[in-house]
Chains A and B, each alone.
Chain A
Amino acid sequence: AQTVTQSQPEMSVQEAETVTLSCTYDTSESDYYLFWYKQPPSRQMILVIRQEAYKQQNATENRFSVNFQKAAKSFSLKISDSQLGDAAMYFCAYRRPEYGNKLVFGAGTILRVKS
């Protein structure tokens, strides 16, 4: 069974600085998708960034980028120029591309942003 591990229960970053959230996963599949979701106090899960395993290039979305290391099964999220609005719970998630397959989430990392 696939598992997703987030080893950092909580992280803090100063406003305008950079922070990296870690995620590792376990799978025997070669083709899959990886996601980072943000969950603010409003509870809605918001997609931050996604990565397709067959693409070697790391995904980037504005201030958010990933470091995808397929052989190491590592998928970290880097947030640059951190803003107060980035404070939230961040979840790493995995999905196989087969029809109807589920998202497997990690336990999450709470990110606190200090002003």
Chain B
Amino acid sequence: DAGVTQSPTHLIKTRGQQVTLRCSPISGHKSVSWYQQVLGQGPQFIFQYYEKEERGRGNFPDRFSARQFPNYSSELNVNALLLGDSALYLCASSFTPGQAGENGYTFGSGTRLTVV
């Protein structure tokens, strides 16, 4: 079975541009969460989606948005990129948001975003 897949693996953007990151959860998983991991720090929660609805949002500006599709894949969009948005963006999936407490999330390998 395929794990959580994220695309692209790396990308470089210029300040002010917009970026879209993609995540495909494990087959059967209906909940997807996004985390931002700045170099040298632990991941920070951005969003959680379940059944195409937003179920949680972290302390991030409105430049960050996300959505979940009927096949449970998800996109994270960041507008008006800043240098400080440079980070590893991790996607995690679980059957339901609550199930994550029993077994933890399954994470993808992330997208490394560099803003120049």
- Most chain A beta-carbon neighbours within 10 Å: one of B42, B45, B50: B42
CA A1 – CA B44 in complex, angstroms?
14
B100→A43 contact, CB < 8 A: no
Interface string of B43-57 (1 = CB under 8 A from A): 111001010000110
The total number of A-B Cβ pairs within 8 Å is: 67
A43→B55 contact, CB < 8 A: no
B110→A107 contact, CB < 8 A: no
- Interface membership of A73, Cβ < 8 A: no
A102→B42 contact, CB < 8 A: no
Which residues in A have their C-beta under 8 angstroms from that of B45?
102-104
User: What's the tally of chain A residues with a CB closer than 8 Å to chain B?
Assistant: 25
| Distance of A29 from chain B, by nearest CB (Å) | 12
- Interface membership of B66, Cβ < 8 A: no
CA A103 – CA B48 in complex, angstroms?
11
Known contacts A50-B104, A97-B101; is-contact A102 B110 (Cβ 8 Å): no
- Interface membership of B25, Cβ < 8 A: no
A44→B108 contact, CB < 8 A: yes
User: What's the tally of chain B residues with a CB closer than 8 Å to chain A?
Assistant: 30
- Interface membership of A35, Cβ < 8 A: yes
| Distance of A50 from chain B, by nearest CB (Å) | 6
- Interface membership of B23, Cβ < 8 A: no
Show the binding face of B for A, using Cβ within 8 Å.
Answer: 3, 33, 35, 40-45, 48, 50, 55-56, 58, 88, 90, 92, 97-98, 100-101, 103-110, 112
Show the binding face of A for B, using Cβ within 8 Å.
Answer: 4, 33, 35, 37, 42-47, 50, 91, 93, 95, 97, 99-108
List 14 interface pairs A-B (beta carbons < 8 Å), by A numbering: A43-B88, A43-B109, A43-B112, A46-B107, A47-B105, A97-B98, A99-B98, A100-B55, A102-B56, A103-B35, A103-B43, A103-B100, A105-B42, A108-B42
